[in-house]
């Protein structure tokens, strides 16, 4: 079950009322229930048992499923009855703007602020799950900030030997909100032809073409939000008619082919803080220390000509001081056929070359594939 609740705030103060049209808050609560019986009971006939003598000479009963090796596998054992509760918030502001042809512009204040928690009614011990919270800020179409944090429900306790373990008492019963287990946050930005042009105009003092700016803002309004699950991108694009394909050639005012190489580069910086259970446990605070890890990832693509596309991805792990998996691929659209080549450059080396028909009916029949094997992927070059 889910619904959406809308709240609107319209400023009444003079200086705010002139600039801000309205602030909209969308609250989305969701409650779901999932139930599955215990299929390992003899009533369902999904599991069978046999007795055997183990290496210690003891007779034991082993439960197995005769369907475990089949194509579809077997039903899970153990009864479950989980109730999941989730809340999500979205806050947007509509302001008056002369840059937009409609006279208004939308600004995303909080793209999403949510939390989820579940309760397993069939569990005999620790039925509550951990609390997961998430935050996403979409400051611009190219810049996104996202963060996820997890809070443990059950508190640590000490056994008779003084070793910590997760007990059955919740953190709430001890007057605490929850044990912070860790968080991960990501900062990402995408550079492209438009970004480079803006930087050149900024340093040279050249103003953007108003007609081109209006067209771009109109395209931004027509572009569906990929993070909204209630929007069908294909239907939204169909509302505004057919648009020129991204790969079509353009002619300038003198009749010459415009020299334009579309490209994009996405850079993301991720930080992860997690509970380090391998560290020394602090018996005073009943907490483990935290470990920090951060990585830098980047990916991009370059279309060198119509039908030619190059993509690449890599990253750097600051904790291990080395590059992450680095890949590159080249794709060539041959109208009826497609040619693609992909290589893994680091830490292992391998390649994959494919030439096949675009038609789904002929793709398996008209195809030639060559790839490296485990025996020669070290020195394939």
CA atoms within 13 A on the CB side of 337: 9
Q: State the average pLDDT over residues 262-290.
A: 91
pTM, two decimals, is 0.64
At 313, is the pLDDT very low, low, confident or very high (cuts 50, 70, 90)? very high
| Cα–Cα dist 336/361, whole Å | 12
Q: Are 169 and 175 in contact (CB under 8 A)?
A: no
pLDDT, residue 257, reads: 60
The least confident of 117-126, 199-208, 301-310 is: 199-208
pLDDT, residue 380, reads: 44
Q: Could you tell me the CA-to-CA distances from 320 to 224, 276, 295, 316 in Å, in that order?
A: 39, 17, 10, 9
pLDDT, residue 250, reads: 63
pLDDT top residue among 226 and 174: 174
Q: Are 83 and 110 in contact (CB under 8 A)?
A: no
Long-range contacts of 196-204 (CB under 8 A, 24+ apart): none
Q: Are 264 and 192 in contact (CB under 8 A)?
A: yes
Instruction: Flag whether pLDDT at 222 surpasses 70.
Output: no
């Amino acid at each position: 079950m889910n619904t959406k609740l809308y709240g609107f705030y319209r400023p009444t103060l003079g200086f705010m009322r002139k600039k801000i049209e309205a602030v909209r808050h969308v609250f989305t609560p969701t409650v779901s229930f999932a139930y599955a019986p215990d299929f390992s009971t003899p009533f369902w006939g999904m599991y069978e048992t046999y007795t055997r003598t183990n290496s210690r000479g003891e007779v034991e009963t082993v439960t197995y499923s005769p369907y475990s090796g089949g194509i579809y596998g077997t039903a899970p054992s153990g009864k479950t009855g989980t109730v999941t509760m989730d809340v999500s918030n979205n806050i947007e502001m509509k302001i008056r703007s002369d840059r937009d042809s409609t006279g208004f512009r939308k600004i995303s204040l909080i793209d999403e602020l949510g939390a989820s928690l579940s309760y397993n009614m069939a569990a005999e011990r620790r039925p509550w799950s951990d609390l997961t919270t998430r935050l996403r800020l979409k400051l611009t179409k190219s810049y996104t900030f996202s963060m996820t944090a997890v809070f443990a429900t059950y508190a640590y306790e000490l056994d008779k030997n003084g070793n910590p373990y997760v007990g059955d008492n919740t953190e709430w019963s001890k007057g605490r909100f929850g044990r912070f287990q860790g968080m991960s946050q990501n900062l990402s930005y995408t550079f492209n032809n438009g970004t480079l042009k803006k930087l050149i105009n900024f340093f040279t003092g050249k103003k953007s073409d108003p007609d081109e700016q209006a067209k771009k803002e109109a395209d931004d309004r027509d572009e569906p939000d990929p993070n909204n699950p209630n929007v069908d991108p294909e239907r939204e694009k169909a509302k505004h008619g057919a648009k020129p394909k991204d790969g079509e050639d353009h002619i300038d005012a003198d009749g010459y082919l415009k020299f334009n190489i579309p490209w994009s580069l996405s850079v993301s910086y991720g930080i992860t803080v997690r509970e380090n259970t391998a560290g020394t446990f602090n018996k005073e605070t009943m907490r483990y220390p935290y470990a920090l890890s951060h990585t830098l990832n980047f990916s991009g693509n370059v279309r060198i000509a119509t039908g030619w596309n190059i993509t690449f991805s890599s990253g750097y792990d600051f904790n291990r001081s080395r590059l992450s998996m680095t890949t590159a691929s080249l794709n060539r659209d041959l109208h009826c056929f497609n040619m693609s080549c992909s290589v893994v450059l680091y830490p292992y080396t391998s390649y994959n070359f494919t030439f096949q028909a675009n038609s789904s009916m002929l793709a398996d029949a008209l195809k030639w594939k060559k790839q490296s094997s485990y025996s020669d992927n070290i020195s394939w070059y």
